[in-house]
């Protein structure tokens, strides 16, 4: 069996991990030129010509959960399934990041940080959990984990997705017709949506303006879902109380962007959930073995829907 590999960072670490996980498999890094015929390909940030001439390819693996960049840049052979990572060690990291962000706003630690800068000693009344409903947009594998985690922390949890989901202890909404009701009931909005033609720019002045006054936005998905100027305008007006952002239209975020200096914005360099080599390789290897046995696998991307 042959595996074609393309990863911009730590290629030797990825190659060695695949060799250990799939004994007897020849693993080769992609290089320009005549196609080395492979049975499977695994990649991140692939060049468009990566799979050109691959006549025997059985499946292609995207070494991340998000596939928007891959669908834009890669020429996929017809009939070859594209499979994305599902969790692979990212779920726990995402739980920690989102729990911290929600609790920071819930306990008004952002306000205390600003007071510290002014040497201001002032205590705020502790809020009640039922005053702080949290809404998760996007109920995929990671979104479901976040909803369960937030519920365990004691918050009322709402969930919104394109298609109907029924979750124990979570008030769910589906489709464009129920987005308004979801937003109006949400105090802290956590965006976990994939970036698709339907979600690009979805969080704009109109939609974010439906959040109640004093609401918060936490985006750990893709920057293209948020209209930056609209978010800034709502922060400036006081309608939104704060935003925690981990994904941006351009990365690295340009130094001149207002997000860097805005007093109500906390940002991180797209690090809320990093891809872990061993966990990711173990998942991909397991799915390759399933393909070889003729079994179905999860995580296959619907190219028409974009995720």
**Angle of CA points 52, 58, 63, to nearest 5°:** 75
Would residue 45 show up in a list of annotated catalytic residues for this protein?
Answer: no
Would residue 129 show up in a list of annotated catalytic residues for this protein?
Answer: no
Cβ distance 251 to 219 under 8 Å? no
Q: Which of 45, 239, 270, 289 is catalytic?
A: 270
In angstroms, the Cα distances linking 223 to 58, 73, 100 are 32, 18, 20
Token pair for 39: 């049975």
C-alpha distance across the termini of the chain, in Å: 28
Residue owning tokens 């006054």: 213
Radius of gyration, alpha carbons of the chain: 21
Residues 6+ positions from 23 with CB-CB distance below 8 Å = none
Cβ distance 42 to 4 under 8 Å? yes
Cβ distance 47 to 75 under 8 Å? no
> Residue 29 pairs with which residues in a beta bridge?
5
Helix axes 277-292, 11-21, angle to 10 degrees: 40
Q: Which of 84, 108, 187, 222 is catalytic?
A: 222
Q: Which residues are catalytic?
A: 222, 270
């Amino acid at each position: 069996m042959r595996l074609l590999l393309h990863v911009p960072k730590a290629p030797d670490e990825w190659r060695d991990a695949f060799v250990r996980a799939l004994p007897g498999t020849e693993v080769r890094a992609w290089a320009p030129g005549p196609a080395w015929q492979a049975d499977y390909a695994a990649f991140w940030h692939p060049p468009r010509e990566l799979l050109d001439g691959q006549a025997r390819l059985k499946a292609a693996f995207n070494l991340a959960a998000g596939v928007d960049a891959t669908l834009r840049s890669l020429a996929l052979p017809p009939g070859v399934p594209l499979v994305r990572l599902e969790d692979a060690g990212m779920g726990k990291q995402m739980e920690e990041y989102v729990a911290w962000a929600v609790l920071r706003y819930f306990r008004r630690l952002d306000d205390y940080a600003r007071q510290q800068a002014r040497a201001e000693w002032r205590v705020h009344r502790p809020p009640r959990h039922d005053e702080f409903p949290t809404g998760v947009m996007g109920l995929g594998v990671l979104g479901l984990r976040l909803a369960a985690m937030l519920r365990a922390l004691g918050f009322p949890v709402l969930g919104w997705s394109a298609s109907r989901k029924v979750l124990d202890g979570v008030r769910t909404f589906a489709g464009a017709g129920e987005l308004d009701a979801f937003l109006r009931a949400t105090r802290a909005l956590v965006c976990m949506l994939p970036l698709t033609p339907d979600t690009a720019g979805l969080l704009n002045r109109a939609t974010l303006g439906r959040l109640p006054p004093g609401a918060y936005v936490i985006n750990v998905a893709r920057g293209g879902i948020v209209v930056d100027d609209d978010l800034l305008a709502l922060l400036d007006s006081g309608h939104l109380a704060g935003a925690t952002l981990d994904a941006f239209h351009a990365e690295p975020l340009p130094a001149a962007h207002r997000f860097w200096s805005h007093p109500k914005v906390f940002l991180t360099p797209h690090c809320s959930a990093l891809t872990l080599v061993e966990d990711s390789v173990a998942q991909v290897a397991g799915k390759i073995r399933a393909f070889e046995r003729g079994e179905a696998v999860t995580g296959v991307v619907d190219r028409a829907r974009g995720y």
